[in-house]
Structure 1
Amino acid sequence: MTNPVKTIGAILDKQSVVFISSVDENGMPNTKAMLAPRKREGIRVIYFHTNTSSMRVQQYRKNPKACLYFCDKRFFKGVMLTGTMEVLEDPASKEMLWQEGDTMYYPEGVTDPDYCVLRFTAEQGRFYSNFSSENFDIG
């Protein structure tokens, strides 16, 4: 892959769903589907919004190890990113991701205590396409 940021970024931007994984108290992986990220900085830093009260947030607070998987079903391509997830509750982070209509999830608005931002920082990646996989570093 000649330009991982461009190739991987194009896949990330076209997906409406991403699978995120955390580690539970027994050291087991837990995976769930999430809405596509609201913001990204290249392919290294990716932001999501979620409920502060969620099981996933509690798991990331105890163990920040995380994995994201983006799947392009149409062309049978996939991108796995491994790294760490931070739970952000500061006003600037919450304002950064807030969109009109988010009161559907967070009735009290941008200051809702049950609204937080997840910031994923990738360390490694793996790209699948054309029946082969390739690891890549993110730096």
Structure 2
Amino acid sequence: MRTAEQIFEFISKQKVAFIGSVDDDGFPNMKAMLMPRKIDGSCFYFSTNTSSMRIAQYRKNPKASVYFFNKGRFRYEGVMLTGTMEVLEDAQIKEEIWQTGDTMFYKKGVNDPDYCVLRFTASKGRHYCDLKTESFEL
């Protein structure tokens, strides 16, 4: 069994995350995202557009999942986390995770009304590696 530290170390090395939301009909929706801008314990912070479909879904139903994986030449490893997603629009967290290149997506800068932060709080997860799957609580 992997420790929480080993799982979070694995997560921190990945370049892409897949986030899951629930649509109005109760179906899961997945989207590839750049890695979280910040990881604080079991909270993961992503930047995104306020106007996106995902934001509306999370506001209606905060249930969410995030999946990280690495496909090596001979080994596949993946971690799925489940929990809740919050939409944050306060200036402090927006400034904290803002990066210089973000003006490419948010023309009005850190105060652009179409810029917001998603905070995913994981409560449990599943880890897969070497044909073994294990569940864990956070």
TM over 0.5: yes
Shift of 1:106: 0.5
Shift of 1:9: 1.0
The aligned residue for residue 62 of structure 1 is: 60
1:20 alignment partner, SS class = strand
Q: CA-to-partner distance for each residue in 1:60-114, whole Å, 9 max, x for gaps? A: 0000000000001113000000000000000011011101111011110000000
Unaligned runs of 5+ in 1: none
2:107 alignment partner, SS class = coil
The aligned residue for residue 85 of structure 1 is: 85
Matched, 1:101 2:101: yes
The aligned residue for residue 113 of structure 1 is: 113
Matched, 1:35 2:34: yes
The one-letter amino acid of 2:107's match is P
The aligned residue for residue 14 of structure 2 is: 15
The one-letter amino acid of 2:102's match is D
The one-letter amino acid of 1:78's match is G
The one-letter amino acid of 2:66's match is L
Shift of 1:41: 1.1
Alpha-carbon separation, structure 2, partners of 1:97 and 1:41: 12
Shift of 1:11: 1.5
Per mean C-alpha deviation after superposition, the further-off stretch among 7-16 and 65-74 is: 7-16
Q: CA-to-partner distance for each residue in 1:25-67, whole Å, 9 max, x for gaps? A: 000000010001110013x100000000000011000000000
Alpha-carbon separation, structure 1, partners of 2:34 and 2:125: 20
Relative to structure 1, the CA distance from residue 3 to residue 35 in structure 2 (aligned partners, 3 Å threshold; closer, same or farther) is same
Alpha-carbon separation, structure 1, partners of 2:2 and 2:29: 32
Shift of 1:3: 1.8
Unaligned runs of 5+ in 2: none
Deviation beyond 6 Å, 4+ runs, structure 1: none
The one-letter amino acid of 1:135's match is S
2:100 alignment partner, SS class = coil
TM-score by length of 2: 0.96
Shift of 1:18: 0.5
The aligned residue for residue 122 of structure 1 is: 122
